[in-house]
């Protein structure tokens, strides 16, 4: 019988060990890719096997299962090229550290988080170019995050609590601390953006869970204002974007800000919140993988408006991208809709201006996501371009992502942890205040 | 009763039969797929019989008491309303599918198209048989996206633009619907239909919008949901997606105008007990419906394209249907939507033939109106007089005395009778051209036909109401909730009377070459007004241009914000 205290180390160790053995396959990109995906699969299997022995956090175990899945799928969606080897190995390292941060006891989890921040800072510094001076802000955000994590370890409350909250705002993005999120999604190499879009918010939600209930009223007020501002800001910025990665980054910012509002107003992190984070992260992962497929074929700086009519030339890609877009627009029966409805229905206020802003941002997603997908898939077919439909690995990656999103939309949340959400006070006669 | 589940599953199976298989067998598979759809129609008829005899059927795959299961609660609740809608949808779908297999035979995307048609039918059937508001909303949204996909020819720029506009506009309505659901759940703590109605009836709740400004929760919920219904049923000012979607294949229109667009009317009927609690929402529905009916009909008259004409005719009819809901006549709205659905499906499936014929034969459409000698006919005048003034009085008396409809307590019924009067007067004028009538036989036949049609209609509506809402107290309560203030009711009746009589006189005199004397400036003003209105309605109130301007303005503001703000898009 394995000691329960060892289990977090085992689940952390599997991907890290896998990363440690990659030098043996370094000269064979194809084998390295197969190995990395295999490690992710073993990691997922080990998590499923040990799930019963792990302490269930307030947000449940869903995110724990989704991390190796997202890592594996982001790897599968990549072309087998030697330039991407470093990002594959880093994916395994980030996966190991991420699982460590999610399963370890307090203090140790902070160390894992600091290690993740350290790696990201180094990566962003290495990939910084003078053409993107704004990425200094992202580097600064992650440095601030690392400092805040250090403070939570060495300082006493209330400073440590504030530092913990600040660290959460960088991981689970909200304005004005969203630069790190934007930098990570636009500047990190290879498949890392498509994995990080789930990893960071998942870690942020996990870190937020213990402090959500203890937030003072004034902090709740400030955070709810920031969350609503972030929701609107993300949606407006996404509407204006022509670059796909930025569009997805701002879109995810808008969605994660919605989550912030729901968490701070209810002062609790529930499996519903994890479902929302997992679904949004996974759908963004899928869209980034889908965009990577286009970049692989048509170049890095391709304008999505310049390629049209893929529905007839790349039918498999078109169907899967359409389904991902449906999920990203918050349409049923996918996980984003389920998570969004779960959050709204568990909101403490019967109705409020906040909900109106959330619904408007949800509506805006239909506009910008559809415009992006429509530009790619429909319109006049470009006969001057060479078209090649999905490779087998790309196809598998997108199919698994779509099926997972579908599963997240239909399976009961209670499967991943006890849902302590209570139904609203049903129909008391009298008066409800509009919560302005 | 689990056999009922076969109805949507058969439609899903039909979609799969069409979709999966080799391309060279697609014709054969399309023919095979018609059988499950036909079987679904037979199943729907069987369900209607079972429901009528044994009462509502409820099948739930979730625990209504559990919050965790609320996110995707799959369940079916089939009462008479659902069964009627299922029969209509399945019946029309069978015809449309069979028609489509021939119509789309040489289209290279036939397989995708037919599969989408079957899937849309599946979604519609699931939507009308939903056990709760959440499931209804799920399928409601999927329907919005399917309308985007059904535009079919996505390589055509105008089609694509229309499809995009359709989807985004429907999403605006969906957002309001979503807000209504969240509010309903927040206030009443349930989305199960029966529980929701019971809680809303038992415990009225007031929402405080602002200190001193309260709104009834039922009003707030129903107003938000009504906006959702306005979108799907193309009500003013959310109507313009319908004419824009006219590039889609003709069978899609038949399905759209006979099935999908009725979703709004169905939603209001499904939530009738909740709508019945809010007079304000019913009055809003009455105003919106009336406005849509008037504007839709006016725009229809000024169009020069057969599909657009039919599209605006549908908008007008949907306005009429919503107006009926606004008057508390929920069952009449369902009766209307069935009648209109069947009629419009027939017309749309036929319009291709007319267009084809017009292209092939120079004499189509026929011009067979001959100039007639302008003379005054006392017999024709008498017929008109009887039609406009005497018959309504007879109808009112008979309705009150023989059919025992309490007119004095029911404003809605009186307004409907006025509408029947207006419609029949219009029909007499349009169809028979009074100036041509100089025979007492024709006049008598016309009057008798009119009387017959009106009474059969009243009888059918009364029977249908008794079938759909067997409890007369419930029906009376809806009418009561929809009662307008007395002054407004009297004004409407008076105005309708004056307008009908004056219009009739004007048209009659014009038909006989007589004119009403009026000062020159008044004549010019009227002539200018008529021309201006014609141009306005021909251009569909410039709604497309206004919405484009709105869209451009929003995007300009968004881009200006994006440029000013320090950010990544620089």
Q: Give contacts of B159 with chain A, Cβ < 8 Å.
A: none
* B512 or B231: which leads in pLDDT: B231
What pLDDT score does B363 carry?
A: 67
At B305-335, the pLDDT tens digits run: 777 888 888 899 899 899 989 988 888 888 8
Pick among A124, A240, A431 to test the B interface (most B CBs inside 10 A): A240
Reported as a pLDDT band with limits 50, 70 and 90, residue B432 is: low
What pLDDT score does B187 carry?
A: 87
CA distance A272 to A340: 9
Reported as a pLDDT band with limits 50, 70 and 90, residue A256 is: very high
The lowest-confidence range among A248-262, B336-350, B364-378 is B364-378
What pLDDT score does A435 carry?
A: 43
Strands (E), B312-375: none
State the average pLDDT over residues A205-213: 90
Copy the structure tokens of residue B462: 């009364």
Reported as a pLDDT band with limits 50, 70 and 90, residue B368 is: low
State the average pLDDT over residues B103-107: 79
What pLDDT score does B430 carry?
A: 58
Contact B155 A359 (CB under 8 A): no
Contact B568 A249 (CB under 8 A): yes
What pLDDT score does A419 carry?
A: 66
Q: Give contacts of B188 with chain A, Cβ < 8 Å.
A: 426-427
Q: Does residue A202 carry a pLDDT above 90?
A: yes
Q: Write out the DSSP string of A294-330.
A: HHHHH-TT--GGGS--HHHHSHHHHHHHHHHHHHHTT
At A59-114, the pLDDT tens digits run: 888 999 999 999 999 999 888 878 888 999 999 999 999 999 999 888 889 999 99
Q: Does residue A200 carry a pLDDT above 90?
A: yes
Cα A45 to Cα A41, A48, A52, A68, A121: the distances in Å are: 6, 5, 13, 9, 31
The nearest alpha carbon in chain B to A187 belongs to B568
As a 3-state breakdown, chain A gives helix, strand, coil percent values, each rounded to 5, of: 75, 0, 25
Pick among A345, A349, A406, A425 to test the B interface (most B CBs inside 10 A): A345
Residues 86 to 125 of B: which have CB under 8 A from any A CB?
A: none
A16 touches B: beta carbon within 8 Å:
no
Contact A426 B206 (CB under 8 A): no
Query: Which among B171, B185, B206 is the nearest to A424, CB-wise?
Result: B185
At B167-201, the pLDDT tens digits run: 989 999 999 999 999 999 888 888 888 889 999 98
State the average pLDDT over residues B493-502: 78
Q: How many CB pairs below 8 Å do chains A and B form together?
A: 168
The model carries a pTM of 0.89
Q: Give contacts of A425 with chain B, Cβ < 8 Å.
A: 189
What pLDDT score does A429 carry?
A: 47
The mean pLDDT of chain B is: 82
Q: Residue B252: which of B151, B335, B123 has the closest Cα?
A: B151
What pLDDT score does B225 carry?
A: 94
Percent of chain B's residues with pLDDT above 90: 22
> Which residues on neighbouring strands pair with residue B215, listed in sequence order?
B207
* Top mean-pLDDT range of A401-410, B95-104, B461-470, B508-517: A401-410
CA distance A196 to A110: 18
State the average pLDDT over residues B127-136: 91
State the average pLDDT over residues B482-510: 77
* B446 or A152: which leads in pLDDT: A152
What pLDDT score does B268 carry?
A: 92
The nearest alpha carbon in chain A to B212 belongs to A433
At B200-215, the pLDDT tens digits run: 988 888 887 777 778 8
State the average pLDDT over residues B549-560: 91
Contact A380 B190 (CB under 8 A): no
Reported as a pLDDT band with limits 50, 70 and 90, residue A146 is: very high
State the average pLDDT over residues B508-522: 75
- Asked if residues A340 and A327 have their Cβ atoms less than 8 Å apart, the reply is no
What pLDDT score does A436 carry?
A: 38
The lowest-confidence range among A290-294, A310-314, B66-70 is B66-70
Beta pairing class for B57-60 and B213-216:
unpaired
Contacts 24+ apart (CB under 8 A), B369-372: B372/B435, B372/B436
DSSP letter assigned to residue B406: -
Q: Does residue A120 carry a pLDDT above 90?
A: yes
The mean pLDDT of chain A is: 88
Q: Does residue B373 carry a pLDDT above 60?
A: no
CA distance B299 to B534: 8
Q: Give contacts of B148 with chain A, Cβ < 8 Å.
A: 370
Can you give the C-alpha Rg of chain A in angstroms?
21
Reported as a pLDDT band with limits 50, 70 and 90, residue A195 is: very high
What pLDDT score does B304 carry?
A: 81
* A158 or B418: which leads in pLDDT: A158
State the average pLDDT over residues B124-143: 91
ipTM of the complex: 0.89
Reported as a pLDDT band with limits 50, 70 and 90, residue A434 is: very low
CA distance A293 to B568: 23
At B60-91, the pLDDT tens digits run: 887 776 654 556 788 889 999 999 999 999 99
> Which residues on neighbouring strands pair with residue B75, listed in sequence order?
B60
CA distance A214 to B339: 61
Q: Give contacts of A344 with chain B, Cβ < 8 Å.
A: 178, 182
């Amino acid at each position: 019988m394995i000691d329960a205290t060892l289990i977090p180390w085992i689940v952390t160790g599997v991907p890290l060990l896998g990363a440690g053995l990659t030098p043996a396959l370094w000269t064979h990109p194809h084998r390295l890719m197969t190995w990395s995906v295999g490690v992710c699969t073993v990691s997922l299997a080990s998590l499923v096997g040990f799930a019963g022995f792990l302490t269930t956090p307030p947000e449940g175990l869903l995110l724990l299962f989704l991390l190796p899945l997202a890592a594996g799928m982001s790897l599968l969606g990549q072309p087998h090229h030697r330039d991407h080897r470093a990002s594959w190995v880093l994916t395994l390292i980030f996966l190991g550290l991420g699982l460590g941060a999610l399963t370890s006891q307090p203090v140790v989890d902070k160390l894992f988080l600091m290690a993740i921040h350290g790696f990201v800072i180094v990566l962003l510094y290495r990939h910084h170019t003078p053409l993107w001076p704004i990425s200094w802000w992202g580097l600064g955000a992650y440095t601030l995050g690392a400092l805040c994590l250090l403070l939570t370890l060495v300082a006493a409350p209330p400073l440590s609590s504030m530092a913990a909250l600040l660290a959460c705002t960088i991981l689970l993005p909200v304005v004005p601390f969203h630069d790190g999120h934007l930098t990570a999604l636009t500047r990190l190499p290879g498949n890392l953006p498509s994995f990080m879009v789930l990893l960071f918010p998942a870690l942020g939600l996990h870190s937020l869970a213990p402090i959500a209930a203890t937030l003072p009223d004034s902090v709740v007020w400030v955070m709810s204002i920031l969350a609503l501002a972030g929701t609107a800001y993300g949606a407006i910025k996404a509407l204006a974007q022509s670059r796909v990665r930025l569009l997805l980054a701002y879109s995810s910012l808008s969605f994660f800000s919605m989550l912030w509002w729901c968490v701070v107003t209810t002062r609790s992190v529930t499996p519903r919140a994890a479902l929302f984070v997992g679904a949004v992260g996974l759908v963004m992962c899928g869209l980034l993988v889908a965009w990577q497929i286009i970049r692989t074929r048509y170049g890095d700086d391709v304008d999505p408006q310049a390629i049209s009519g893929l529905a007839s030339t790349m039918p498999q890609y078109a169907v899967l991208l359409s389904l991902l877009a449906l999920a990203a627009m918050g349409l049923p029966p996918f996980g984003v809709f389920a998570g969004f409805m779960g959050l709204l229905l568990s909101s403490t206020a019967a109705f409020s201006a906040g909900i109106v802003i959330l619904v408007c941002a949800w509506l805006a997603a239909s506009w910008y996501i559809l415009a992006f997908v429509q530009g790619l898939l429909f319109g006049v077919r470009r006969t001057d371009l060479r078209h090649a439909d999905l490779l087998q690995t790309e196809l598998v990656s997108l199919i698994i992502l779509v099926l997972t999103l579908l599963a997240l939309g239909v399976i009961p949340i209670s499967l991943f942890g006890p849902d302590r959400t209570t139904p609203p006070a049903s129909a008391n006669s009298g008066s409800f205040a509009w919560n302005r | 009763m689990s056999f009922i589940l076969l109805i949507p599953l058969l439609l899903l199976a039909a979609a799969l039969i069409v979709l999966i298989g080799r391309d060279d067998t697609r014709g054969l598979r399309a023919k095979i797929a018609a059988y499950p759809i036909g079987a679904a129609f037979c199943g729907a008829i069987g369900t209607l019989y079972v429901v009528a005899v044994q009462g509502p059927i409820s099948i739930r795959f979730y625990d209504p008491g559990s919050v965790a299961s609320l996110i995707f609660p799959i369940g079916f609740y089939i009462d008479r309303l659902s069964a009627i809608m299922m029969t209509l949808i399945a019946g029309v779908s069978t015809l449309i599918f069979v028609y489509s297999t021939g119509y789309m035979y040489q289209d290279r995307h036939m397989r995708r198209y037919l599969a989408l048609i079957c899937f849309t039918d599946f979604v519609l059937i699931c939507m009308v048989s939903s056990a709760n508001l959440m499931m209804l909303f799920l399928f409601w949204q999927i329907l919005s996206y399917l309308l985007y996909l059904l535009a079919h020819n996505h390589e055509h720029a105008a089609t694509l633009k229309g499809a995009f506009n359709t989807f985004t506009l429907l999403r605006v309505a969906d957002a309001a619907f979503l807000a209504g659901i969240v509010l309903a759940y927040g206030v009443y703590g349930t989305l199960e239909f029966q529980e929701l109605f019971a809680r809303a009836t038992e415990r009225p709740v007031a929402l405080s919008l602002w200190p001193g400004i309260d709104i009834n929760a039922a009003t707030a919920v129903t107003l938000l949901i009504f906006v959702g219904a306005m979108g799907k049923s193309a009500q003013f000012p959310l109507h313009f997606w319908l004419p824009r979607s006219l590039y889609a294949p003709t069978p899609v229109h038949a399905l759209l105008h006979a099935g999908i667009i009725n979703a709004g009317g169905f939603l209001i009927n499904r939530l009738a007990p909740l709508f019945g609690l809010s007079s304000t929402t019913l009055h809003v529905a009455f105003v919106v419906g009336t406005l849509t009916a008037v504007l839709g009909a006016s725009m229809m008259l000024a169009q020069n394209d057969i599909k657009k004409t039919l599209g605006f005719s549908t908008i007008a009819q949907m306005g009429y249907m919503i107006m009926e809901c606004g008057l508390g006549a929920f069952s009449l709205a369902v009766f209307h939507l069935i009648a209109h659905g069947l009629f419009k499906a027939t017309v749309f499936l036929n319009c291709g033939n007319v267009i084809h014929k017009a292209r092939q034969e120079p004499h189509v459409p026929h011009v067979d109106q001959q100039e007639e000698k302008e003379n005054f006919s006392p017999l024709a005048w008498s017929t008109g007089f009887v039609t406009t003034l005497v018959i309504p009085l007879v109808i009112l008396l008979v309705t009150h005395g023989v059919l025992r409809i309490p007119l004095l307590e029911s404003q809605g019924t009186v307004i409907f009778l006025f509408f029947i009067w207006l419609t029949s007067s219009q029909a007499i004028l349009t169809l028979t051209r009074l100036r041509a009538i100089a025979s007492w036989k024709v006049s008598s036949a016309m009057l008798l036909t009119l009387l017959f049609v009106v009474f059969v209609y009243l009888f059918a509506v009364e029977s249908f109401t008794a079938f759909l809402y067997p409890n007369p107290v419930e029906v009376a309560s809806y009418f009561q909730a929809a009662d307008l203030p007395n002054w407004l009711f009297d004004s409407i009746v008076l105005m309708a009377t004056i307008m009908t009589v004056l219009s009739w006189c004007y048209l009659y005199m014009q038909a006989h070459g007589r004119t009403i004397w009026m000062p020159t400036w008044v004549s010019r003003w009227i002539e200018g007004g008529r021309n201006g209105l014609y141009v306005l309605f021909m251009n569909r109130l410039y709604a497309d241009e206004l919405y484009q301007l709105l869209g451009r303005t929003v995007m300009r503001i968004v881009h200006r914000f994006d440029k000013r703000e320090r950010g990544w898009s620089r």
